[in-house]
Amino acid sequence: MLTTFQWFSLITILLVTYAGGYYPLFRREKARQAEGFPLGEAFTAGVFLALSLILMYPSAFQLLNKSFPDVDYPLASVLVLFVFLVLLGLEHIIKNFERKSAKANNQLSNPTIPIIMTVMIAIPSFFLGTALGISDTSTAVFIWIAIMVHKSSAAFALALKMVQSTLTRNQTFIIFSLFALSTPIGIIFGEDIHEYLPPETLVLVKGLILSLASGTFLYMATLHELEHAPLIKSCVNRKGFLVMLCGFIITLFVRLLIGEAHHM
């Protein structure tokens, strides 16, 4: 059963996702002139870095070592890098589609682009929701903050790509809703595994999920959208860089307060 905070997270994440997509979906011309949320993206990049490397990765490393005590190999590191490289590969695929679409049609893009983008963002969003679902409340609060800021900006960008493609209005709403539901479904899944898995299996599953989430957070903070990556685009000026550091340092400080976030 979901806790009060998990229900709060689920509902607020849904609301902020639809709020982020509102202008592209209903105010198309205004949306094309908007500049996004650069300071919010900068703060989130700092939080993502700390969550990935200070909270999630060490916990995943510890849990997988518990599950495989005789394996002298950094399994958590391999999983983190695997997710990172998969997301990078998907990003290259999207950029390739965008370049081809721009040559073929100067007005509306190929609908394949927003569909692939939805899959690419929805799967990591599911893992981030799952990480929130398996975390205790103190850690889940910071995962929730990072997801809230990211989902709003991602929803805006994704909806904008959809309205600039040949997708119909109904198709746009259906695909966008699948993206919006990805994180809430992840939260429910993360909570449910506590009830149905034995302790030994739960240690392994937690380690796997945290490794996947760590790689996702690391990618979202660094190379997401490639040339428009948050650490490059949003932190290029002093204000953006300081905001990013604030997100990073606040999360580091919380890690000192709460101690080890995930343990059995």
CA 88 to chain centre: 14
- pLDDT, one tens digit per residue, over 139-155 is 788 788 878 877 777 78
- For 262, the enclosing helix (H) or strand (E) is none
Cα distance between the two ends of the chain: 19
**Could you tell me if residue 4 is inside a domain?**
no
Which range of residues forms the domain containing residue 94?
39-258
As a whole number, mean pLDDT of residues 211-222 equals: 81
DSSP, res 191 = H
Q: Evaluate whether residue 264 is within a structural domain.
A: no
Q: Looking at residue 155, what is its pLDDT?
A: 82
Residue 96 CB burial class (10 angstroms; 0-12, 13-18, ≥19): exposed
Helix, strand or coil for residue 195?
Answer: helix
Q: DSSP label at 165?
A: B
Reported as type and span, the H/E element at residue 136 is: none
Closest to 40 measured CA to CA, from 15, 26, 20, 10: 20
The helix, strand and coil proportions of the chain, stated in percent and rounded to the nearest 5, come to 85, 0, 15
Q: With bands split at pLDDT 50, 70 and 90, how would you rate the model's confidence at 8? A: very high
Burial class (CB in 10 A: 0-12, 13-18, 19+), 232: middle
Q: Tell me whether residue 2 is in a domain.
A: no
Cβ atoms of residues 206 and 262 within 8 Å: yes
Domain annotation covers residue 3: no
Number of domains in the chain: 1
> Where do the DSSP E strands lie in the chain?
none
* CA 245, 58, 17, 233 torsion-angle sign: positive
Within-domain flag for 109: yes
- Going by the DSSP 8-state scheme, the letter that residue 109 receives in this structure is B
What is the tens place of the pLDDT at every residue in 50-87? 778 887 888 889 889 989 988 888 899 999 989 888 88
With contact defined as beta carbons under 8 Å apart, do 134 and 206 qualify?
yes
- Segment 17-21 mean pLDDT: 86
Residues 6+ apart with CB under 8 A from 67: 200, 203, 204, 207
Question: Tokens for 204?
Answer: 């392994």
CA 28 – CA 178 distance, rounded (Å): 21
Within a domain: residue 21? no
**Is 205 contained in some domain?**
yes
- To the question of pTM greater than 0.75 for the whole model, the response is no
* Residue 75 belongs to a domain: yes
User: What letter represents residue 39's amino acid?
Assistant: L
Q: What is the pLDDT of residues 246-257, one digit of tens each?
A: 877 877 776 666
- The amino acid present at 99, given as its one-letter code, is R
Compute the mean pLDDT over every residue in the chain, rounded to the nearest whole number: 77
